[in-house]
Structures are given as structure tokens and as C-alpha cells.
């Protein structure tokens, strides 16, 4: 689901300026079109065209704003909880409801004006009615300025939401920073995440896809140390992805400790994640070509003592060691599910 499509939301003054400018242009076009008509008929047609245009533009802009925001209760669990954790959803619902009322009220006022204007034969009363209408429209829109500003701020937050497919088999890749998660994602899916040798290169949730006979398999690079007391926004998104979307969790360990974290710290994170999610885990020992065979075997035993994982595999994203085997395992595990 992608929220990048939500465009910038104008404030009250900008919406009114656009609408009234268009109204003046419609007035001029109608006046030129009916230049041979009776002066009062010409005026009435011009005023009608102006009002119709102003109301139509405001109604259209507000309807678009309302339609751009999804119904929170209809969202997949991942995005619904992400919204609840990222935004004041009460204010969001209130703002959208207020704008719906605003659009309906302007439509009602426009119809009232057109009925009255059609019946009047007084030029002064006609112009006074339009002036009164525009005053009420301006008042309604300006009273909703805070709602428009709030929704634009909500849009900016939502544009940062990850674009994740919630209806296909998904594997989350986790582990401490710089253990090779992004490199693995690139190696087995061909995606091009940002990769560098320092912590928290991943500033969001990177995704990649493996094509299968039955569709796609989604892999999500879910970064973070997942300390419950100090979780940042990126880690929160990763937690929700693992919780709601992941069918399988890959936990990567760097036994060389070149990532900057000891194996004890990495095993501690594995235990924490297993307790948090109770998901099916596959543990990968990356950079295994840098460590002696005996040390790898001891670490494998330690992994199994730390958490009841189904399998442990040593790999190397650098020289592609066991990556074909890993891909086969992933496809089989997902197929079995």
C-alpha cells in the first residue's frame, strides 16, 4: 500500500483564492457570451456561472481531500496499527467528518442561492445575495482551516509509511545493524537498498521480491535493536511488519563481530525477538567464511539453546555461499505454510 499519492493540501485562503479567481473568469466568459441579451438576464447568467464555478471548485477540492484519506477501520492490520501509533486518529476522523459537512453545506447554500436568484428581478438584491453567499462560504472554509492544516501534516507522516504488500507471503529479515541484512536482500531479490558499513544505514523498511510459480514472495528488511523502552519510529514500523505481515523471520548473526556487536549481544536480541513474536525463525550466520569451522559449530549449538529455531544456516552474502540453498529453503518453508 502506497500513501505517496496524497498531494499537498491547500489551506483555507489558498482554496478560496483559487475558487474566487475561477469564479471571476467564469463571470467574464458568461458576460461575453450573453452580450446581446437583456442587461439583467446577462447579469443573472454571469452571476450564476460565477457561483456555480466557485462552489464546484471548492466541493471538488474538499471531496478529493476526503477521498485521499483511507478509512482507518478498513485498512490491513499493519497499516491500521501504524496509523494508530503515528497519528492522532481521533483528530483525523474529526477533520474528515468536518470537511464532509463543509462540502455538503456549500452545496446546500449554492442551491438556495440559485433558487432565490432565479426568482429575483432586482439587480441590487441579486448582487447582495451573491455577496452574502460568498461571505458564508468563506466563513465555512476558514473555520476548517485548522482541519486542513492538520490533514496536511498527517499527509506528510503517511508519505513516510513503507510501501508493503499485506496480502502476499512475507519474510522479515532482522538482526543488529551492519550484520548484512540489506546485502542479503539485494543478493537474493535483486533489489537495490542503500548499503554501507555503519549502523542504521536502513532508514526505513526496504523490500524485495522473489517471483514464484504462484506469485511473489516479499522480503522486508526490518532494522533495529528492538529495545522496548527506546524504540525509534523505524523500529516501530519493523515491529508492526513482523507482527502483522511476516510468515517467517530471518534472524542474521555476524559471528565475526565486525558489525560492532558481540555474539552474546546478538543472541540476546534473538531471544528478545522470539519472545516478542513467537514466529517461525530461520537463523543465518553471515560472514561465516571469516570464522573457523569449530567456532561456527559451537555458535550453532548456542543458537539452538537460546531460542527454539527450526534451522540454522551459515552463509556469506559477500561470496554467495549457500545463497541458492537459502532461497530453496525459503520457498519450501513458505509453500509449506
Assess if residue 151 is contained within a domain. Answer: yes
Predicted local distance difference test score (pLDDT) of residue 106: 96
Rounded to an integer, the average pLDDT of 274-295 is 88
pLDDT at 198 over 60: no
Query: Per-residue confidence at 43, pLDDT binned at 50, 70, 90?
Result: confident
pLDDT at 319 over 90: no
- Domain shared by 207 and 309, yes or no: yes
Assess if residue 3 is contained within a domain. Answer: no
pLDDT at 245 over 90: yes
Predicted local distance difference test score (pLDDT) of residue 195: 40
Phi, psi of 205 (to 5 degrees): -105, 105
Predicted local distance difference test score (pLDDT) of residue 261: 93
- Domain shared by 213 and 320, yes or no: yes
Rounded to an integer, the average pLDDT of 296-313 is 86
Give the domain extent around 227: 170-336
Predicted local distance difference test score (pLDDT) of residue 200: 42
State how many domains the chain has: 2
Predicted local distance difference test score (pLDDT) of residue 193: 52
Rounded to an integer, the average pLDDT of 214-227 is 85
Assess if residue 5 is contained within a domain. Answer: no
Assess if residue 90 is contained within a domain. Answer: yes
Predicted local distance difference test score (pLDDT) of residue 215: 82
Predicted local distance difference test score (pLDDT) of residue 201: 41
- How far apart, in Å, are the Cα atoms of 241 and each of 75, 120, 191? 14, 62, 19
Rounded to an integer, the average pLDDT of 98-108 is 96
Please identify, among 158, 192, 220, the residue that sits at the C-terminal boundary of a domain: 158
Predicted local distance difference test score (pLDDT) of residue 231: 77
Assess if residue 271 is contained within a domain. Answer: yes
Please identify, among 95, 128, 158, the residue that sits at the C-terminal boundary of a domain: 158
Query: Per-residue confidence at 57, pLDDT binned at 50, 70, 90?
Result: very high
pLDDT at 230 over 80: no
pTM: 0.81
- Domain shared by 63 and 91, yes or no: yes
Assess if residue 143 is contained within a domain. Answer: yes
Rounded to whole angstroms, the Cα distance separating 31 from 47 reads 9
Q: How many CB atoms lie within 10 A of CB 152?
A: 16
pLDDT at 22 over 60: yes
Assess if residue 2 is contained within a domain. Answer: no
- Domain shared by 111 and 222, yes or no: no
- Domain shared by 213 and 317, yes or no: yes
Rounded to whole angstroms, the Cα distance separating 228 from 151 reads 30
List Cβ neighbours of 322 (8 Å cut-off, separation of 6 or more): 313, 314, 315, 316
- Domain shared by 51 and 126, yes or no: yes
What is the pLDDT of the chain when averaged over all its residues?
Answer: 89
Q: What is the CATH number of the domain that holds 299?
A: 3.40.50.300
Closest CA to 248 of 217, 210, 204: 217
Amino acid at each position: 500500500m502506497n500513501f505517496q499519492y496524497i498531494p499537498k493540501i491547500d489551506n483555507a485562503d489558498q482554496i478560496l483564492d483559487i475558487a474566487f479567481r475561477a469564479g471571476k473568469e467564469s463571470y467574464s466568459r458568461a458576460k461575453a457570451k450573453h452580450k446581446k441579451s437583456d442587461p439583467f438576464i446577462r447579469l443573472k447568467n454571469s452571476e450564476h456561472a460565477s457561483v456555480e464555478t466557485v462552489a464546484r471548485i471548492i466541493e471538488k477540492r474538499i471531496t478529493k481531500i476526503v477521498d485521499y484519506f483511507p478509512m482507518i477501520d478498513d485498512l490491513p492490520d499493519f497499516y491500521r496499527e501504524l496509523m494508530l501509533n503515528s497519528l492522532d486518529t481521533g483528530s483525523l476522523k474529526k477533520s474528515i467528518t468536518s470537511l464532509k459537512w463543509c462540502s455538503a453545506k456549500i452545496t446546500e447554500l449554492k442551491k438556495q442561492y440559485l433558487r432565490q436568484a432565479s426568482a429575483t428581478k432586482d439587480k441590487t438584491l441579486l448582487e447582495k445575495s451573491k455577496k452574502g453567499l460568498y461571505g458564508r462560504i468563506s466563513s465555512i472554509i476558514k473555520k476548517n482551516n485548522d482541519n486542513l492544516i492538520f490533514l496536511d501534516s498527517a499527509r506528510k507522516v503517511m508519505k513516510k509509511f513503507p510501501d508493503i504488500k499485506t496480502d502476499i507471503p512475507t519474510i522479515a529479515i532482522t538482526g543488529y545493524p551492519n550484520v548484512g541484512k540489506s546485502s542479503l536482500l539485494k543478493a537474493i531479490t535483486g533489489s537495490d537498498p542503500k548499503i554501507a558499513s555503519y549502523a542504521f544505514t536502513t532508514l526505513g523498511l526496504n523490500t524485495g521480491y522473489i517471483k514464484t510459480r504462484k506469485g511473489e514472495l516479499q522480503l522486508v528488511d526490518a532494522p533495529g535493536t528492538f529495545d522496548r523502552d527506546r524504540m525509534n519510529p523505524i523500529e516501530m514500523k519493523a515491529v508492526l511488519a513482523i507482527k502483522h505481515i511476516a510468515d517467517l523471520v530471518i534472524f542474521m548473526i555476524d559471528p565475526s563481530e565486525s558489525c560492532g556487536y558481540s555474539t552474546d549481544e546478538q543472541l540476546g536480541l534473538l531471544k528478545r525477538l522470539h519472545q516478542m513474536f513467537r514466529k517461525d525463525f530461520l537463523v543465518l550466520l553471515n560472514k561465516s567464511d571469516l570464522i573457523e569451522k569449530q567456532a561456527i559449530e559451537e555458535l550453532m549449538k548456542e543458537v539452538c539453546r537460546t531460542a527454539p529455531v527450526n534451522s540454522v544456516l551459515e552463509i556469506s552474502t559477500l561470496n554467495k555461499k549457500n545463497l541458492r540453498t537459502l532461497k530453496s529453503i525459503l520457498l519450501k518453508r513458505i509453500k509449506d505454510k
